[in-house]
Amino acid sequence: MEKAIEIDGSQGSGGGQILRTSFAIAALQQKPIHITKIRAARPKPGLRPQHLTALQALGEICSAEIKGAHRGSMEVWFSPKKINSMQFAVNIGTAGSISLLLQQLLPVALKSDLKLRVQGGTNVAWSPPIEFIRHLLFPILKKMGARFELSVSKRGYYPKGNGIANFSSKKAKLPLKPVCLTDFQELDSMLVFSHSSDLPNEVSINQSIAAKKIIREKFPKVIFDEKIEFKQPSNTIGSGITLIAIDSEGNMLAGSALGKRGKPAEVVGKEAAQKLLQELSEKKAVDSHAADQLIPFMALAKGYSTIKCSKLTQHCLTNIAICEQLLGVKFDAKGSLGQPAEIFVEGSGFT
């Protein structure tokens, strides 16, 4: 039996990012891995329910043998086999992030025809909002050769979740193409996704009004493409807004915010706008959240990829370390943690 590659789950950011990237690339390469010290420094260390659900879904797709996969486990052995094309449903069972579960599956989806219905959180804290995945990340990956589609049937907020997203993929023509995303040019237009469930319609409307007011003060000529959602009644309560800025060359940056009890809709809209303005101020073509999600695909592509990001995060550095270990590539990140950075890599040309 092939010896498992050893992964230290406490390195770098020490969280779920290590699990998602390690399992995904191992599955794509069909190589066994052994992850130890899983989330060792977190208040609740070990595997959480959302990590288990994502791992089980990945294991289903690649017929993996998995040992140690239980709640609170600090180590897991993962031995993937053939990647299968299939159709199935996944229920995270909580408001766990659908976006992060998909992040676990995207690399194997490059080699699979998948149809997946996922129930959980579409817009929850500490994870990318679902519209970020659909309208910002997927268009970039499409240029690289990925063939992913995503639709949202129902929003899901903390604590109930109950959101529903439908994901599909077609086998990509590998290797992926490299990507070059450097400078954000003149702001051209902006997508606005303002949404709420089981709240007055004015919540969604006022979030958008407040956000657009802040943006217009800085960019009076920007064109807004606005989508306002409100669901009445629903079995999940919450609200949020995501703004995606698009420049004259199609580069995209995002800012988002979530509502909560006692937080006025106007404050939610203002918060999202201010986050986006901060991203825009650095004039880089990749925002601080997209950078770490692009790292594995840059490492898989054939040829040189370059991105300039508004802020170098620990998540990004952790993804770089995992990709270097598992794919044998070498990244060059010019910039300090928390500051704008330029990231280069010659990809592995994975087929």
pLDDT values of the chain reduced to their tens digit, one per residue, 351 residues: 589 999 999 998 888 999 999 999 999 999 999 999 999 988 889 999 999 999 999 999 999 999 999 999 999 999 999 999 999 999 998 899 999 999 999 999 999 999 999 999 999 999 999 999 999 999 999 999 999 999 999 999 999 999 999 999 999 999 999 999 999 999 999 999 999 999 999 999 999 999 999 999 999 999 999 999 998 888 899 999 999 999 999 999 999 999 999 999 999 999 999 999 999 999 999 999 999 999 999 999 999 999 999 999 999 999 999 999 999 999 999 999 999 999 999 999 999
Token couple for 216: 């217009």
For the chain, how big is the Rg over CA atoms in Å? 20
CATH class in words for 185-281: alpha beta
Domain ranges for the chain: 1-82, 85-173, 175-183+284-351, 185-281
CATH class in words for 1-82: alpha beta
For domain 85-173, the CATH architecture is: Alpha-beta prism (3.65)
Parallel/antiparallel/unpaired status of strands 33-36 and 5-8: parallel
Q: pLDDT at position 276, please? A: 98
Q: pLDDT at position 1, please? A: 56
pTM: 0.96
315 is catalytic: yes
Token couple for 339: 């500051």
Residue 75 has a CB neighbour count (10 Å cut-off) of 15
Query: Same fold for the domain at 1-82 and the one at 185-281?
Result: no
Answer whether 96's CB lies under 8 Å from 49's CB: yes
